[in-house]
Chains A and B, each alone.
Chain A
């Protein structure tokens, strides 16, 4: 039983990692009023660029940095389309997704050709803590990108709730006119949040291709970026609740794999539905209490007279 519990917890933490990066990035962007549905495409570009860099140089840090830069470039593109050109955000995001999917597939085909494996970030044992029975094995023997994802939760909470920058971000998403009249540069804040979100999506992709899976394949993310956007709504734009949602989804997924491995006689079609069913049920149960999207979400800002 101990093996199973440790196994489920370890799996859940690994599975949650890419979602955390992508969802926190999306949360910050949405809090400033920009909906970006292109997360999956940016993740794919981050995953490919990190993978390719590591394949060619063997340098994991460089791979991660390249993913961040590529994510930032995509963030800049998304910000330009949505903030400067004031495009319809839902539709432009799908465009970015398809662009990222297509470009990452094309680059993979022309520059790599076939599926190959790389050596990704190895597990990093935290001294002392990793020796604690059970807890140490679950939490403190992961790779560095897993630690980073979990560290992001308190950091983003702090920035959003305890700093002037966080206040500006939320003001821009709630009452852009009021924020504007107080001298907050709406365009600059939105560019900042969307570029930062792009960087985190890039890292989310890298966490797959050079830390957890250590391969690249066309459409490697398989729609994870869309689940990440859903988790932002699930988490009601609060980092801690996003974490809860990501862990809930991943834990149920980890449990369903164990149910199958242990040969418990439930049809696999049903167990595979479980993570989605549980998430929807929890979301429905919480609907009344939590859902308050930023008022200016999906609304381009135009300064009135």
Chain B
């Protein structure tokens, strides 16, 4: 009898201690991340993944954890994943794509204790009475403009090729900015734009790059994960490349002059603070050059390499004043 009592008491104590432990781990902030491509796409999804790693490093694994689902290009699959994560009690669900918005209007009202964020967009559905949706929107045109100015200074043919996925969102903003940047330096520039109709058709992106170069372009740029095909062509045929989303210079160190790095952490940090204070949505987070949400990463190897090549080829003559 005595032993039984002791066991019961010990069990009660251990339950009590365990529940204290559970209480302590309630500080843990849990994020779920749904993406259309993969964490190593060298573009859109990878930049968000890197932001989550950064934040995990800042807050520590005890306080910040995240789970993710890749290849959710089919919106119905993504919606199911969003709902699953929400019902598992995640604090924040990142639906990383402008195609996921309609699903959020459906799901968010069912999970008032979970916050959702999507983008690129400035729509947080407050007009629909939804209070737990955030959004983020990089002003991609600012990065595109900087890339354009640099491109115009380096181009010899003054013909430029843009390989975009679908004429909407970030891709459209970036392309407009790139054009404006070039025209600010060389108003007579010829900027040819092709849309691939897909974020993932690497073969068609590669062929578009070939066509741009055949049409006289010596500088190329583009957005989304399919551009790895175009970067390959730039490398093979000696054209310069300007990147977007992440630093793409590792793919072609001699060709990628600069990349616009989207620093999603700039949006995520204040968002997490708001959620911790109980504010679950309604705010649009803009990423731009001023707040550090967009960063230009210049790859010296390509930039300097090009200058040296120009001197060697005789395109540039360094004159001495006597």
Contact = CB atoms under 8 A, between A and B. Distances in A.
Given A113-B40, A218-B71, A222-B202, A253 B192 contact: no
B195 A15 contact: no
B38 interface: yes
Contacts of A257: 194, 204, 207-208, 211
A213 B211 contact: no
A220 B208 CA distance: 16
Interface stretch (B16-24, B98-106, B227-235, B269-277): B227-235
B41 A272 contact: no
Interface string B192-219: 1111111011111011101110110000
Contacts of A224: 203
A14 B202 contact: no
Contact of A3 (B40, B206, B214, B231): B214
Given A117-B252, A214-B232, A214-B236, A105 B38 contact: yes
Contacts of A208: 202-203
Contacts of B228: 115, 117, 213, 215, 217
B214 A222 contact: no
A257 B207 CA distance: 8
B136 to A, nearest CB: 24
Given A109-B40, A114-B40, A218-B37, A10 B167 contact: no
A115 B40 CA distance: 7
A272 B194 CA distance: 10
A217 B202 contact: yes
Given A115-B41, A261-B194, A11 B211 contact: yes
Interface string A258-285: 1011110000110010000000000000
A6 B197 CA distance: 24
Contacts of B41: 115, 217-218
Nearest to A7: B214
Pick from B71, B196, B232, B235 the residue with the most CB of A within 10 Å.
B232
Nearest to B194: A260
Given A222-B198, A261-B212, A268-B167, A117 B207 contact: no
Given A215-B229, A261-B194, A268-B194, A7 B202 contact: no
B192 A215 contact: no
A116 interface: yes
A42 interface: no
Contact of B42 (A7, A115, A219, A258): A115
Interface string A109-124: 1000111110000000
Pick from A11, A221, A257 the residue with the most CB of B within 10 Å.
A257
A32 B251 CA distance: 44
Nearest to B209: A257
Contact of B251 (A18, A117, A268, A272): A117
Contact of B211 (A113, A214, A217, A254): A254
A222 B195 contact: no
A214 to B, nearest CB: 5
Contacts, number: 115
Interface in B251-272: 251-252
A212 interface: yes
Contacts of B229: 213, 215
B197 A269 contact: yes
Interface residues of B, number: 39
B203 A258 contact: no
Contacts of B40: 109, 113-115, 218
Pick from A6, A213, A224 the residue with the most CB of B within 10 Å.
A213
Interface string B275-318: 00000000000000000000000000000000000000000000
Contacts of B252: 117
Nearest to B46: A114
A261 B207 contact: no
A4 B40 CA distance: 36
A117 B229 CA distance: 9
A210 B161 CA distance: 24
A18 B193 CA distance: 26
B231 A117 contact: yes
Contacts of B235: 117
B197 A213 contact: no
Given A261-B161, A262-B192, A114 B42 contact: yes
B142 interface: no
A260 B38 contact: no
A10 B228 CA distance: 21
B211 A212 contact: no
B225 interface: yes
A261 B195 contact: no
B211 A222 contact: no
Contact of A14 (B42, B71, B210): B210
Interface of B: 37-38, 40-42, 46, 71, 161, 167, 192-198, 200-204, 206-208, 210-212, 214-215, 225, 228-229, 231-232, 235-236, 250-252
23 contacts: A3-B214, A6-B214, A7-B214, A10-B210, A14-B210, A18-B203, A105-B71, A114-B46, A114-B250, A116-B250, A213-B203, A215-B229, A217-B200, A217-B225, A219-B71, A222-B198, A258-B211, A260-B192, A261-B194, A268-B194, A268-B195, A269-B167, A272-B197
